[in-house]
Amino acid sequence: MSQEALQVVAAAGFALLAVAAAWALRLGLTRELAWAALRAAVQLTVVGAIIALVFHVEVLAFAFVAAMLLTAALTSGGRLRVVPGARRRVAVAIGVPALAAVGFLLLIGAFDATPQAAVPAAGILIGGAMTAATITGRRLVEGLEDEAGEIEARLSLGDDAHTALQPVLRRAITTGLVPAIDQTRSVGLVTLPGTFVGLVLGGASPASAARVQLLILLALLAVELFSALIIGRLLLAAVVAPGERVEIPH
């Protein structure tokens, strides 16, 4: 068996193992895991061909980044569909901080203004913002349901909706940032980021690669913080009705 075939078989084996474990444990994730694995296989195959074209036709980079943002909004928004207009709100929470950070990094010359550099950087930042928005949003929706009694009590004691919902919002943002904080704290010890490894393999000095990776990593931390904050604010705006009433999404 060739190495390529062996890699495909091994990948399929890992997917089947995860699906079987989810089914045995009755997690309700069997279909979702299988679908995610299938989509990943198809998407990577297709994107591999598209990205080569994007790197040669620079104007397509803008369309590719827009497609990444749209996909992130649809994916994250689907997790929060109990909230009206979730996908639109998530698109703002992901796109604004991620694209602002990419623009700033290009402005200061952190990397070359080429599709080969800008598209991967945009992907990293959009992906991180999507994760933060999803976790924060889900935790916020769960908090609104779990703490409905406490929220109602604060409102009855005279708090406005903004004040009554602040504890739920803070806990949601804190939870949403846990992966980003852990990743930043453990970089180089637990994980070796792709940007760093790619630069070293490409001939850059370890010191130069470390500087670029640190810049990307800390930009990602800031992007995820603002993504979590924005989605939290936008979701709360969706559940606060006129007259300071809080409509818990179900």
Contacts with 205 (C-beta within 8 Å, 6 or more apart), sequence order: none
Answer whether residue 198 shows pLDDT above 60: no
**pLDDT greater than 60 at residue 43:** yes
> Out of 35-39, 103-107, 211-215, which region has the weakest mean confidence (pLDDT)?
211-215
Long-range Cβ contact pairs of 246-250 (< 8 A, separation 24 or more)? 246/144, 246/151, 246/152, 246/155, 246/161, 246/164, 246/165, 248/144, 248/145, 248/148, 249/82, 249/83, 249/141, 249/144, 249/145, 250/82, 250/145
Question: Any idea where the domains of the chain sit in the sequence?
Answer: 1-56, 58-246
CA distances in angstroms from 204 to 109, 187, 212, listed in the order given: 16, 19, 10
Rounded-to-integer distance, Cα 167 and Cα 169, Å: 5
Residue 184's pLDDT is what? Answer: 86
Asked whether the whole model's pTM tops 0.85, one would answer no
Our CA angle for 56, 62, 67, nearest 5°, is 110
CATH class (in words) of the domain with range 58-246? mainly alpha
Q: How many C-beta atoms lie closer than 10 Å to residue 244's C-beta? A: 13
Q: What is the pLDDT of residue 66?
A: 94
- Give the tens place of pLDDT for each residue, 85-125: 899 999 999 999 999 999 999 898 877 788 877 888 898 89
Rounded to 5 degrees, what angle do the CA atoms 139, 145, 146 make? Answer: 80
Q: Find where tokens 């852990």 sit.
A: 182
Question: What pLDDT, on a 0 to 100 scale, did the predictor assign at position 234?
Answer: 94
Q: Indicate the range of 109-123, 172-186, 195-209 predicted with least confidence.
A: 195-209
pLDDT grade, residue 204 (50/70/90)?
Answer: low
Q: Tell me, what's the pLDDT at 56?
A: 81
DSSP structural state of residue 205:
-
Q: What is the pLDDT of residue 191?
A: 65
**98 closest CA partner among 213, 197, 228:** 228
Distances (CA, A) of 6 to 1, 12, 19: 6, 10, 20
